[in-house]
């Protein structure tokens, strides 16, 4: 419900301006270009775009969707992203009001918009979105404890899910190594094996060590820090559990798919994107998004198969859709599931 039409209008203006910057990220990050330099310019004639030709939505309409100088056509996507972002900001304001939670969720929304458009266009999700968003999710969680449920039961359940997922992935990798040793060596096709990435595992290890401290050493933590810090540390712990569960769930599915189909079945960008979701929304929402996304992805994949005969899809947008559904309807969905099995 919109409390103030004036504030809603200001959110719309702010949103379309942010949408203009998101367009820059969508265009440049897939090509590993800076979003700072050079300034806005026509991709065809390279001439700088003057400020009066760079007013979100309005300039596109007044110029007829063309460059002032070379008259090259601009994609209507630019104006659409700006307008959509403005409307989305108003809708989030209508839902959350001026609650401090609005800030991290609007940031997450911007990451979602970039990830969706880039994944549809290039079949990648930039690390600037996923890994950068994950870092901001952890920071926001430490600052705003209201982002997460920090009760004992929720945290403990998340811990067990996290440890089971990590153990499953480790066992799966050990199984792969064992099978590789038992099978005859495949014929060399000239391609080098990808080097093992240690950094993600070190980040996961750090998160799990921090969680172990918060789990088994909570009494010592409470004695060592001011009482006002404890909710912030528990919220950060919830975010760590969330990102390991989010990323771990889809990573485990990818490992299983690789084993069954003998080819890459899940992109690393999807893993990092759902890890980011877990950092913002917690382990339960990331699990919900994990199970919701395939329903929409399967429908889209079937339609794409019939139209183009292409069996691969950009999965990130469906993780985004599942995450937004989880954000707004997590409690209702979980209650319905529990009622269905007579647990509530």
Short-list 106, 51, 97, 47, CA closest to 71: 47
Range of the domain at 65: 1-96
Is 133 a domain residue?
Answer: no
Q: Give the model's pLDDT for residue 210.
A: 93
Q: Are 235 and 141 in contact (CB under 8 A)?
A: yes
- Bond prior to 38 in cis (omega within 30° of 0): yes
Do 72 and 150 belong to one domain?
Answer: no
Based on the domain organization, do 42 and 156 belong to the same domain? no
Cβ atoms 158, 235 nearer than 8 A: no
H or E, element range at 206: helix 198-216
For the ranges 51-55, 102-106, 226-230, the maximum mean pLDDT occurs at 102-106
Residues 226 and 298 in one domain: yes
Average of per-residue pLDDT across 315-321:
95
Mean pLDDT of 158-184: 83
Q: Is residue 153 part of a domain?
A: yes
List all residues 6 or more positions away from 116 whose beta carbon is below 8 Å from its beta carbon: 316, 317, 320
Q: Worst-scoring range by mean pLDDT, 23-37, 182-196, 288-302?
A: 182-196
Query: Quick check: 101 pLDDT over 90?
Result: yes
Residue 57 included in any domain:
yes
Q: Using one digit for the tens of pLDDT, what is the confidence trace for 107-159?
A: 999 999 999 999 999 999 999 999 999 999 999 999 999 999 999 899 999 99
Q: Is the pTM of this model over 0.75?
A: yes
DSSP per residue, 86-97: HHHHHHHHHHHT
| Number of domains, the chain | 2
Is the pLDDT reported for residue 262 higher than 90? no
User: Is 118 inside a domain boundary?
Assistant: no
- Whether residue 59 lies inside any domain: the answer is yes
Query: What pLDDT was estimated at residue 172?
Result: 78
């Amino acid at each position: 419900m919109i409390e103030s039409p004036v504030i809603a209008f200001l959110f719309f203006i702010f949103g379309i301006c942010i949408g203009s910057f998101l367009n820059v990220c969508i265009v440049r990050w897939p090509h590993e270009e800076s979003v700072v330099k050079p300034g806005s310019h026509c991709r065809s004639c390279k001439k700088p775009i003057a400020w009066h030709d760079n007013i979100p939505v309005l300039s596109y309409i007044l110029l007829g969707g063309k460059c002032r100088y070379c008259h090259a056509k601009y994609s209507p996507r630019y104006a659409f992203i700006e307008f959509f972002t403005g409307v989305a900001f108003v809708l989030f304001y209508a839902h959350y009001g001026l609650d401090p939670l609005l800030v991290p969720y609007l940031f997450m929304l911007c990451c979602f918009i970039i990830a969706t458009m880039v994944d549809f266009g290039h079949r990648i999700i930039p690390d600037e979105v996923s890994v950068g968003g994950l870092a901001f999710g952890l920071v926001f969680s430490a600052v705003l404890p209201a982002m997460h449920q920090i009760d004992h039961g929720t945290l403990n359940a998340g811990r067990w899910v996290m440890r089971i997922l990590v153990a499953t992935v480790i066992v799966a990798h050990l199984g792969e190594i064992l099978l590789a040793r038992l099978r005859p060596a495949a014929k060399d096709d000239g391609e080098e094996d990808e080097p093992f990435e240690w950094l993600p595992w070190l980040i996961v290890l750090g998160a799990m060590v921090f969680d172990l401290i918060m789990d088994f050493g909570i009494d010592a933590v409470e004695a060592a820090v001011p009482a006002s810090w404890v909710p912030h540390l528990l919220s950060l712990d919830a975010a760590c559990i969330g990102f390991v569960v989010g990323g771990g769930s889809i990573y485990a599915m990818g490992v299983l798919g690789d084993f069954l189909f003998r080819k890459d079945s899940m992109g690393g960008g999807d893993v990092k994107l759902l890890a980011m979701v877990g950092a913002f929304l917690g382990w339960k929402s990331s699990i919900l998004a994990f199970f919701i996304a395939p329903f929409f992805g399967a429908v889209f994949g079937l339609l794409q198969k019939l139209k183009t005969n292409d069996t691969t899809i950009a999965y990130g947008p469906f993780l985004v859709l599942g995450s937004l559904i989880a954000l707004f309807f997590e409690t209702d969905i979980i209650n319905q599931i529990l009622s269905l099995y007579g647990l509530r």
